[in-house]
């Protein structure tokens, strides 16, 4: 038997098969951004339109996995706008938005960063809404001068959510319990190990309402929605198609990313501009639609289709979110 196994191994090696191997190529760990042209302009020294991404889960934390580049999306967003601000050749910015939203604070930081960029540079900004521009992603988009939505974009989900769950009954069934030693009765409010009591719920609801009013103020101060009935309807958490969003005033027009770029050129009076995008040295992209964060739909063993939300792979930690996560 041993001779047969040995002969089989010799046969494998002789046929060119061997144990799998990995080639690890070291790259420079740099925080710099490279500028890459994704559409040529006209003439020598053409001005630039810079594409800045708002993609995946909006959170002020690093993303990425084993042997993958890690990025803090808030930091990356601020860095790209800073690079666009310092470059006098950049005449306008296009936000390429494809995100379900994210945490309340991260969304607000990115919105305020965008507003300050416009105030300091006076460079126009156009948001191009792709597959998904919901909740916190729409919050950020409200900082743009114009919003161009694809007709089939999912837009809206204006509101706040705080998700919690209760394991108290489950623990009791297996004879387990938790006992928090705390400095005050509300220190562990929202804990999954005890029921959310009336006082805790009131406190959490108050915070949700506060963040919700901030969201409404951002929408109504940036979008031409005047009727109170319409404001109430578009801010009740539902989502709309891009076409319907235009009808309601949540977007200015429908169109593709190319249309948003043309809109930015008009606002900047730069019809011959080239289009650039910022990348880390180890991450090249070849077109304005490259590196989409939405994977292919997968079917599980039961034949049920599973659709991955961009950037959302794990259960969300407790917190307040401007997020569409059906």
- Active-site positions? 135, 187
Sign of CA dihedral 146, 124, 211, 74: positive
Per DSSP, helices labelled H in 180-256 are 198-222, 228-234, 242-248
- At 86, give phi and psi (nearest 5°): -80, -15
What are the angstrom distances between the C-alpha of 42 and each of 125, 208, 269, 318?
Answer: 21, 50, 14, 50
Contact 159, 237 (CB under 8 A): yes
Measure the CA–CA gap between 160 and 267, rounded to whole angstroms: 33
Residue in this structure with the two tokens 């969201």, named with its chain if needed = 215
Query: 175-194: string of b/e by CB count within 10 Å (b at 16+)?
Result: eeeeeeeeeeeeeebbbbeb
Q: In sequence order, which residues have a C-beta less than 8 Å from that of residue 2 and are 6 or more positions away?
A: none
Q: In sequence order, which residues have a C-beta less than 8 Å from that of residue 46 and are 6 or more positions away?
A: 40, 272, 273, 274
- At 287, give phi and psi (nearest 5°): -150, 170
**Pairing assessment for the beta strands 146-149 and 125-134 based on DSSP bridges:** parallel
**Residue 134 tokens, joined:** 């919901």
């Amino acid at each position: 038997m041993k001779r047969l196994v040995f002969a089989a191994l010799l046969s494998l090696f002789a046929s060119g098969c061997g144990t799998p191997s990995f080639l690890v190529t070291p790259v420079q760990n740099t925080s710099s951004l490279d500028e890459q042209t994704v559409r040529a302009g006209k003439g020598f020294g053409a001005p630039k339109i810079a594409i800045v991404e708002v993609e995946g889960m909006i959170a002020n934390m690093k993303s990425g996995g084993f042997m993958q580049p890690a990025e803090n999306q808030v930091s990356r967003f601020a860095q790209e706008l800073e690079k666009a601000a310092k470059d006098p050749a950049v005449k306008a910015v296009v936000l390429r938005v494809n995100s379900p939203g994210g945490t309340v604070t991260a969304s607000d930081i990115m919105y305020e960063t965008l507003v300050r960029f416009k105030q300091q540079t006076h460079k126009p900004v156009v948001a191009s809404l792709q597959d998904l521009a919901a909740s916190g992603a729409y919050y950020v988009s409200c900082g743009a001068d114009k919003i161009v939505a694809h007709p089939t974009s999912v837009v809206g989900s204006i509101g706040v959510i705080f998700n919690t769950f209760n394991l108290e009954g489950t623990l009791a069934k297996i004879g387990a319990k938790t006992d928090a030693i705390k400095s005050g009765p509300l220190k562990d409010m929202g804990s999954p190990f005890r029921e959310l009591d009336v006082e805790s719920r009131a406190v959490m609801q108050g915070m949700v309402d506060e963040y919700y009013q901030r969201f409404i103020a951002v929408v109504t101060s940036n979008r031409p929605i005047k009727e109170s009935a319409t404001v109430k309807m578009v801010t009740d958490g539902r989502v709309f198609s891009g076409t319907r969003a235009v009808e309601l005033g949540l977007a200015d027009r429908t169109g593709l990313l190319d249309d948003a770029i043309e809109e930015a050129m008009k606002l900047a009076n730069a019809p011959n501009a080239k289009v650039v995008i910022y990348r880390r040295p180890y991450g090249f992209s070849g077109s304005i639609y490259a590196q989409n964060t939405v994977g292919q739909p997968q079917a599980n063993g039961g034949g049920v289709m599973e659709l991955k939300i961009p950037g959302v792979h794990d259960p969300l930690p407790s917190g307040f979110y401007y997020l569409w996560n059906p």
